[in-house]
Amino acid sequence: MSTLVIVESPTKARTIRNFLPSTYRVEASMGHVRDLPSSAEEIPEAVKGEKWAQLGVNVEADFEPLYVIPKDKKKIVKELKDALKDATELILATDEDREGESISWHLLQILKPKVPIKRMVFHEITREAIRDALTHCRDIDNRVVQAQETRRILDRLVGYTLSPLLWKKIAWGLSAGRVQSVAVRLLVRRERERRAFRQGSYWDLKALLEKGKISFDAKLVTVGNVKVANGSDFDENTGQIISGRRVLLLNEQQARALLSRIQNKPWTVGNIEERPVTRKPSPPFTTSTLQQEANRKLRLGARETMRIAQSLYERGFITYMRTDSVHLSEQAIEAARSCVQELYGSEYLSPQPRKYTTKSKGAQEAHEAIRPAGSTFRTPQQTGLDGIDFRLYDLIWKRTVASQMADSRQTHVTVQTQVEDAGFRSSGKRIDFPGFLRAYVEGSDDPNAALEDQEVILPALKVGDKPNCKDLGAVGHETQPPARYTEASLVKMLESEGVGRPSTYASIIGTIVDRGYAKLIANALIPTFTAFAVTTLLETHFPDLVDTGFTSRMEQTLDEIATGEAKWLPYLQKFYTGETGLATQVKEQESQIDAKVARTVVLENISAKVCIGKFGAYLESESEEGLVKASIPQDLTPADLDPEQVEFLLKQKMEGPEKLGLHPQTGEPIYVLIGSYGPYVQLGDVSETNKKPKRASLPKGTDKDTVTLDMAVSLLTLPRLLGTHPDTGAKVQANLGMYGPYVVHDQGKVGKDYRSIKPPDDVLTITLDRALELLSQPKAARGRSKSATPLKELGAHPESGEPINVYDGRYGPYVKHGDINASLSKDESVENFTLQRALELLATKEAAGPKTSSKSKKSTKATAEKSDTATKKTAAKKTTAKKTETAAKKTTAKTTETAAKKTTAKKTATATTAKKTTK
């Protein structure tokens, strides 16, 4: 007797194998094995001509989804079918959330097992949890599957209906998404607030006082019993004091006059207030709070946080990482309290076990918070983890343990001091008992706030004391615009508004950045010109779809479908095909949307029009000579575009570039210009005889205003011939490339040998000797060279024993095992890359199979055409329903009959490119 267990990933499979008897075979599905078609070529031939085929959902037949097996999953499906042939029992052990339930359901539809079936769920991968789960198997929850399917269909309807409209009205390749577009709007609204912000300035005084050899700060708060203005008193839209506020606004002159008047005058303590404060620990992590805290403390993006957490879960270190719940099991509470008792002592335990409950009605995912796995918690040092894996586990361990610790008791002290008619305030904090702060301090969304809860000790003071003034100064301040969203604060906002679900936030933020709607700069998400244009169009013509309240109510309905409180079909019908449904709205609005207006971005304080074009954003302005258009550099965001830059770009276009001077040898003018890819220098003018003058980009980080004539002349000499290589006689050059400065040993047909130039070496001054020294050093791997030096050695493959290493390839770092290579994603760093992650990538690549060669493709195509001809003869005799991968659960006899009556005359000659969509 043998049992086949199917999980999602190879790592999870390897871990679970260790906890099951030898009669159990564990295989991985590599995620979803079936989905809506993502491209035209995935659409089955039998329905390719149907008008709904590109949508992947038959809206005329009760929103029946068209499911297909993606090309890269066909090999996996075959392997699972083969494994099932030898099994006497099938256990579906995918994750316990909606996606996991859906994967199990799809596996049943594809595998069609004739053996007993069980659904096994668990939230941690430990021997005890797996053995317990085996004895408590259940059936697939069809309501949860229905909720996931409704969500998937809804996202497809939104994305595939709105995206083509954006292609027509703004630019090809844009995408809209049910949650994605709301998140982009939040970024755009914040940027609009920042552009509309008017800065205000104010002055105050700051003193350094001393009593009993203990120094402490004091800040001016009143003059003549009138409150001195601070940043909170300013109107962000005017830069002036908010109307009706009775405050004293000091300028520099007044502040310095006050300083002179009270200098050397006696100080007196007027009032002392002590206020006891008790702080309770935060609940254990949910998906959302883990993403927020990892971003604040570890500077990890949401996607990277989830990738690392997934790896920790699958290796048995933490519980399931996609959860809305803050609940801890009795076992977990006991384990956490045991850690506190052992490491900190009984006085640091909360008097009673702390039990946290989830307030959100939408908490429909796993049943427990994210915590260390097992009935006893391994300390971070006991895990054997290192690098970023260690740091994230450490964060989770500390937060969980702290949740069962005693309150922190503090005393906040406020001291009022008076000098003449000027009142000063000093604030202190005394930690009377640290409690949970011994283990964990929550981070802050304020980048200037300290992560550690530190004491601010004031000296022992009493009313009437006269502290000494050691220093007194006037300090100027300027009000700051609203802070941009970080990944942490955007996740927090989405969750607080009830938009999307925490398990999807990582992919949403990743999509926003990948699709060019935002740039991630210094941990801030900055919207692009495209984001402004798309948001404005959606706000104007489809306001509900980017309204947080509407999207939140949509999420609630999807949750109600999962619990059986709402019906999926009436909801989809009303949303899409009703009188005010999305399809109707798009049909009505399309003719009303002026493409020229849609491509125009209106920005505060910018007189010129900003337009979205085929090659990016550009400026458009009327002049005496007619319409002037000037490209906006690709790295320039709406946040950075000011009137001065607009004037420079337009002036450069109308009057020609700024001339630095004349080349000392040729006498030709040298200009500094700004193009689509940033600033550069140009030698000579564009003319009929000189259509492509010599140009050279400025080194990264160089401001165009700092470029001198000598620097420009040096840049225009690039590539610099440094000399010849003593061994080969071939030339050695220095130059600037896409990835920065480099030296190259050019041996013609033999090949070119490159090395990067790193500071303090300079491409303009590097010598031949130094270049030869760089070229003599081993270089990082390129391509598939077996002799290349790895960037990182990860260890041996657990099955083959062969080494697994990371190399630097032409298109970035990749992991290699034998003949299999797999590229690292853009958000994965080599430094933090682990063996476990490498095994996942290699398994995915191997499962996808080798790429078909051109010759093979032609042969396959010819065979397919023959097969296709034979198939078409049979196709007319079969119904559409029998020929598609469509889910059987919603197919009715009526639906099949309707599909069969479709005439071939309505079929299109060529399937259009599949439209893009995201949540």
**Catalytic machinery residues:** 320
Q: Look at residues 569, 573, 552 and name the one whose alpha carbon lies nearest to residue 561.
A: 569
Q: Is 375 exposed, middle or buried (0-12, 13-18, 19+ CB in 10 A)?
A: middle
Q: How many CB atoms lie within 10 A of CB 888?
A: 10
How far is 898 from 903, CA to CA, in rounded Å?
11
How far is 559 from 766, CA to CA, in rounded Å?
64
Q: How many CB atoms lie within 10 A of CB 706?
A: 8
Computed on alpha carbons and rounded to an integer, the radius of gyration of the chain in Å comes to: 33
Q: Is 751 exposed, middle or buried (0-12, 13-18, 19+ CB in 10 A)?
A: exposed
Residue 280 to residues 244, 436, 440, Cα–Cα distance (Å): 38, 8, 11
Q: Look at residues 799, 879, 882, 876 and name the one whose alpha carbon lies nearest to residue 843.
A: 799
How far is 182 from 188, CA to CA, in rounded Å?
10
- Reduce the DSSP state of residue 917 to 3 states and report it: coil
Q: Are strands 226-227 and 24-28 parallel, antiparallel or unpaired?
A: unpaired
Structure tokens at 502: 């925490």
Strand ranges, E, within 460-570: 468-478, 518-521, 524-527
Burial 651-667 (b: 16+ CB within 10 A, else e): ebbeeebbebeebeeee
The continuous run of DSSP H or E covering 894 comes out as: helix 893-900
Whether the link from the prior residue into 760 is cis, omega within 30° of 0, is yes
Using alpha carbons only, give the angle 499, 503, 508 rounded to the nearest 5 degrees: 65
- Specify whether the CB–CB gap between 539 and 196 falls below 8 A: no
Please, what's the largest Cα pairwise distance for the chain? 104
Residue with tokens 């969509």: 917
Q: Is 130 exposed, middle or buried (0-12, 13-18, 19+ CB in 10 A)?
A: buried
Q: How many CB atoms lie within 10 A of CB 343?
A: 12
User: Please, which contacts does 628-634 make with residues 24 or more away whose CB atoms are closer than 8 Å?
Assistant: 628/653, 628/654, 629/653, 631/675, 631/676, 632/529, 632/676, 633/674, 633/675, 633/676, 633/677, 633/678, 633/679, 634/676, 634/677, 634/678
Q: Is 17 exposed, middle or buried (0-12, 13-18, 19+ CB in 10 A)?
A: middle
How far is 177 from 159, CA to CA, in rounded Å?
5
Structure tokens at 715: 């840049």
Q: What are the phi and psi torsion angles at 350 (to 5°)?
A: -65, 145
